[in-house]
Each structure stands twice: as C-alpha cells, then as structure tokens.
Structure 1
C-alpha cells in the first residue's frame, strides 16, 4: 500500500464530509482489542512481535485493513458505514479482498458496527478526481455485497 494514497483518500474523504465522525469519536483500544483479538489473534501477536503500538487505535485498525471509515447514504436514504482500505498494487488488492471477505474479518466488522468493507485500488501517480471518487463510491453503495474491490485506475 502506498502511504501517500492512504493519506490522499483520508484527506479527500474529510473534504467530502463522508468520514464517519461518530465512529471515530467512539472507537477506542478498549473497543477494538476484544473485537479483533478474539477473531484475529495471530495478526495481533505478529504486530506485538514487530513492536507496534497496541495502545494506538490506528494500529488496531491497520490490523483489520481499515484505512478509513466512511458513512454513505444509499438510494433509500439509509446511512451505511463502510471500512475502506486503499492500495496501489493489484496483487495486494486481491489478497486483501480475500482477507476482508473471510468469516473472521466479517465478525470483527459486525462487532464494530461496520456494514461493508471496500478495497480501493488507485494509481498512485494519477489518482482519480474527487468527482470520479464520489461517483464510484455512491454507485457502489447501492450495489449488493459486503466486500468489494473498486478499481479507480485510469
């Protein structure tokens, strides 16, 4: 994953006012730890061995492949909470999509109140315009499926 692409998406999501502020305001390590440790203990142990800061909520979100959480209204006006992972590599996108589709990741999302998880594939040199991003996200929110790969490369 390109760290710059992750930051780009987070900045654009803030500008578009789609960041789920309620989720960010209420999420804590105390909430994340039991939801993630019970289903993905191997990922937690690996992070601990690498010396990652397990007192930082961002570390826990990284463990479950979440770069951002957005809230989008579908065509019926219902707000849907979506976890987003941003990547710039094809192979990683497919591998990560497989992970987020797993039963363990689904259980973590459910415990955190997240309805969907999207993997967004970007071109790090030429990211999409804000308009293209918005169109893609709102097109996808009305589609069935909990986990999806959204390819936004030109």
Structure 2
C-alpha cells in the first residue's frame, strides 16, 4: 500500500467533510481490542510478535484494514458508516478484499458499528480528482449490500 495514497484519501475525506468524527471520538484501544481480539486473534498475535504498539488505536485499525472511516448518506437519506482501505496495488486489493469479505471481519465491523467496508484501488501517480472520488463514493453508497 502506498502510504501517500492513504494520506491523500484521508485529506480529501476531511476536505469533503465525510470523515466520521463521531466514530473517532468514541474510539478507544479497549473497544478495538474487545471487537478484534476474539475474531482475529492470529492477526493480533502476529502484530505483537512484530513488536507493534498495541496501545495505539492506529495499530488496531491496521489489523482490520481500515485507513479511514467515513459517513455517507444514500439517495434515500439513510446514513452509513463506511470503513475504507486504500491501496495502489491490484494484487493487494484482491487479497484484502477477500479478507474484508470474511465472516470474522464482518463480525468485527458489526461490533465497531461499521456498516460497510470498501477497498479502494487508486493510481498512486495520478489519483482521481475530488469530483471523481465524490461521484464514485456516492454511486457506491447507493448500491445495496456491503
């Protein structure tokens, strides 16, 4: 994953005012640990072996492939909390998409109050214009399913 693409998406989401500030206000390491540890214990153990800081909420979000959380409203006026993973590599996107579709990841999202989880594959050299991103996000939120 390109770290610059992740930062780019986070910046654009803030500028578009779609970042779910409520989610991040109530986010604690304990809430993340409770939601994640039982369903994805192998990922937690691997992070611990690598020496990652398990007191940092960002570490826990990385474990569940979340680079950002946005709040979007569909055409019917229903609001959805969407976790977003940003990547710039095709193969990485397919592998991560398989993970986020798994039952364990769904259970973690449900425990965290996240309605959908998207994997965005971006061109790291020429990311989309903000207007294109807005159109894509709102087109997707109007689709049924996760």
CA–CA separation in structure 1 for the residues paired with 2:6 and 2:32: 21
**CA-to-partner distance for each residue in 1:95-136, whole Å, 9 max, x for gaps?**
000000000000000000000000000000000000000000
| Structure 2, unaligned runs of 5 or more | none
| Structure 1, unaligned runs of 5 or more | 147-154
Identify the residue that residue 119 of structure 1 maps to in structure 2: 119
Give the structure-1-normalised TM-score. Answer: 0.94
Q: CA RMSD in A?
A: 0.4
Instruction: Give the match's secondary structure for 1:77.
Output: coil
Give the structure-2-normalised TM-score. Answer: 0.99
CA–CA separation in structure 1 for the residues paired with 2:90 and 2:127: 15
The answer to whether structure 1 residue 7 and structure 2 residue 7 are counterparts is yes
Q: Which ranges of 4 or more aligned residues in structure 1 deviate by more than 4 Å?
A: none
**CA-to-partner distance for each residue in 1:82-107, whole Å, 9 max, x for gaps?**
00000000000000000000000000
Identify the residue that residue 105 of structure 1 maps to in structure 2: 105
Identify the residue that residue 34 of structure 1 maps to in structure 2: 34
**CA-to-partner distance for each residue in 1:14-70, whole Å, 9 max, x for gaps?**
000000000000010010001100100000000000000000001000000000000
